[in-house]
Amino acid sequence: MPLRRHLLATAASAVLALSVSTPALAQTVLKASDVHPAGYPNVVAIENLGKKLEASSAGRYKLQMFPGGVLGSEKEVVEQTQIGAIQIARISLGILGPVVPDVNVFNMPFVFRDEAHMRAVIDGPVGKEILDKITNSPARLVALGWMDSGSRSLYTKKEIKTPADLKGLKIRVMGNPLFVDTMNAMGGNGITMGHNDTYSALQTGVVDGAENNPPTLFTANHYSTGMKFYTQTTHLIIPEIFVMSKVAWDKMSRDDQANMTKFAREAQMEQRALWDKSVAEYSTKLQAAGVQFKSVDKKPFYDATAPVRAKYGSQYAELIKRIEAVK
């Protein structure tokens, strides 16, 4: 049996065993998914949210975290969450674009000035509005909260100084046409695949590079495939998001829902503190492993991606003005 299916089967029997051994307690197990490994800030923050929910519900709810992408790629996990087979999905907002197109306004290249700007936006009314758009869309997902994911920059075997240096290079991007357009506009060839397939694609040369933040570059081992240059384009500053299956949400009492909302906000803030530490820690580790962090003139990349912002942003002109106005 393939590992993923085996783990699913094991998880299913664990759930069964639990309900058999504790007949007095009607316990609902919420399966949570993350592509990142145990210990990653996002995983820790969701696990802690689960502990709070378990305590506040006197054990009626229990969260079971499946890290490392064992439940599937983010695209698969979103689908599973929509039908209620997975209850909580922590994913990149990037992957939600094809499901809820309104979120793409945050997925556009250089839409945020910097990470502080992105944080101010997600913490404020615009962030709340996008969460509500997801919840109120037909996607059958309840948007619980945001997380940080820093900035995404390019990693390759050779140094990238200008868009021309990306010519002919296949660069892995997340599964959203917006990112293919972005990478193509930046000079390369955007190739989509799931996060957990990227390591072997880099290793076998199916792609020549990828783009992500330092914690992912390190924890997914991408740096060890010869990705010596980390070129600080910071072209995408995409928040992470965690969503709940509407199927599971609708079964919760009002009180449990209110607790969930409160703990979600706390998880957002907890992850942020862990995130800042992890960026510092993994940047140091990457440099110790020989990865060269290169600053680069961002203007040519910004200019080259103007058509992408025009294509995906034109129907959100008002919203973009409000984003820009956030200090």
* Positions that interact with ligand BDP (CB under 6 A): 35, 74, 91-92, 149, 174, 195, 212-213, 216, 240
H or E, element range at 153: strand 152-156
In the complex, least distance from residue 286 CB atom to ligand BDP, rounded to whole angstroms: 14
When the beta carbons of 109 and 252 are compared against ligand BDP, the nearer one is 109
H or E, element range at 176: none
When the beta carbons of 91 and 252 are compared against ligand BDP, the nearer one is 91
Q: How far is 117 from 123, CA to CA, in rounded Å?
A: 10
Q: How far is 232 from 287, CA to CA, in rounded Å?
A: 14
In the complex, least distance from residue 262 CB atom to ligand BDP, rounded to whole angstroms: 24
- List phi, psi (to 5°) of 58: 50, 40
Residue 265 Cα distances to 30, 40, 118, 210, 298, angstroms: 18, 18, 16, 31, 33
In the complex, least distance from residue 165 CB atom to ligand BDP, rounded to whole angstroms: 21
Residue pair 80/244 in contact (Cβ under 8 Å)? The answer is: no
When the beta carbons of 211 and 259 are compared against ligand BDP, the nearer one is 211
In the complex, least distance from residue 226 CB atom to ligand BDP, rounded to whole angstroms: 19
When the beta carbons of 237 and 252 are compared against ligand BDP, the nearer one is 237
Of all residues in this chain, which one has the CB nearest to ligand BDP in the complex? Answer: 195
In the complex, least distance from residue 284 CB atom to ligand BDP, rounded to whole angstroms: 18
Cβ neighbours, 10 Å, residue 140: 17
Radius of gyration of the chain (CA): 20
In the complex, least distance from residue 69 CB atom to ligand BDP, rounded to whole angstroms: 8
Residue pair 154/208 in contact (Cβ under 8 Å)? The answer is: no
H or E, element range at 316: none
What would the two tokens of residue 295 be?
Answer: 């600053």
Closest CA to 59 of 17, 34, 24: 24
Number of H helices, E strands in the chain: 14, 11
In the complex, least distance from residue 122 CB atom to ligand BDP, rounded to whole angstroms: 15
When the beta carbons of 149 and 259 are compared against ligand BDP, the nearer one is 149
When the beta carbons of 198 and 305 are compared against ligand BDP, the nearer one is 198
In terms of phi and psi (left: phi > 0; alpha: psi -120 to 50; beta: otherwise), the region of 203 is: alpha
When the beta carbons of 252 and 279 are compared against ligand BDP, the nearer one is 279
